Amino acid sequence: MAKDQGQTPALPRGGRSVATAIEPPKKRVGVLQFFREVRAEARKISWTSRRETWVTSVMVFIMILLTAFFFVVVDIGLRIMMQFILKLGT
C-alpha cells in the first residue's frame, strides 16, 4: 500500500517540531547597532493623526462618564434596597 503523501508528520508532545524547539543562542549586538535597529523599527510606526487622537480621546471621556453614571445609579439603587430591607427587620 502507498504511503499517504498529503498528511503532515505528527508533532512531538510540546506541539513544536524538533527543528524549531532547538534554537541557536542569539548573538549579542553592540550599543550602536541596537540603537540603529530601534531607529529603523521606529520608522515603521504609523502614527495617528491629530483628529483621530482627538476623536478617540473624546470617546474615551464619554465612556468614562457613562460608566460613572451607571455605577452611581446602581449604587443608589442598592442603597435604597438595603435601607428598605433594614427597615423591614426593625
pLDDT at 9: 58
pLDDT of residue 22: 76
C-alpha distance from residue 41 to each of 29, 46, 53 (Å): 16, 11, 22
Note whether 66 and 74 are within 8 A (CB).
no
pLDDT at position 13, please? Answer: 63
| pLDDT for the residue 20 | 59
Per domain, the residue ranges of the chain are 50-90
pLDDT of residue 28: 80
Query: Mean pLDDT per segment of 10 residues, for the chain of length 90 residues?
Result: 56 58 76 93 92 97 98 98 91
